[in-house]
Structure 1
Amino acid sequence: MKQSRLMSLAESVANVIVGYGVAVVTQILIFPIFGLHTTLAQNLKIGAAFTVMSIARSFALRRVFEAIRMRRAQ
């Protein structure tokens, strides 16, 4: 059975929220090891920037793979 559009949206939103949280927590834990000391606000902004880039990357890859799939179907 195919996933509904609503469930696809819910999955995508959950993925972005979890990814953002993982990014921020990882930064808080890892940055000090490399001598980088940032405030929580800076970590939230950096996490947001990485999240936006991740969404763009994911979208671009999905479109590339869909184009490949469509070429093979012809």
Structure 2
Amino acid sequence: MSLVEAIANVAVGYAIAVLTQIIVFPLFGLQVSLGDNLAIGGLFTIASIARAYTLRRAFEAFRAHGAGTITAGQVARRRRSF
């Protein structure tokens, strides 16, 4: 269900982004085709996914470090060093 939730979150975010662009761009004198709006929304969606992933990994690293636990990546690095 986590995957379904993640996909739904991205799909809803993309739809909201495109609808917002369609409404807001003309207010600023920007005339953009539907295809361009879809492409712009897609680029912002990719950026948003990358941002969310990076922040999630950073906070997980902070949590693991603060709790004194070892992450899977640290275990793999330690195994390679022996």
TM-score (norm 1): 0.90
Aligned residues: 68
Deviations 1:12-43 (A, max 9, x none): 00000000000000000000000000000000
The percent identity for this pair of structures is 57
Q: Which runs of 5+ in 2 are unaligned?
A: 69-82
Match of 2:29 in 1: 35
Q: Which runs of 5+ in 1 are unaligned?
A: 1-6
Bigger Cα Rg: 2
Is 2:10 aligned against 1:16?
Answer: yes
Match of 1:73 in 2: 67
Match of 2:40 in 1: 46
CA distance in 1, matches of 2:4, 2:63: 24
- CA drift at 1:72: 1.1
RMSD, matched Cα: 0.4
TM-score (norm 2): 0.82
Give the AA of the match of 2:43: A
Relative contact order (C-alpha < 8 Å, sep 6+): which is higher? 1
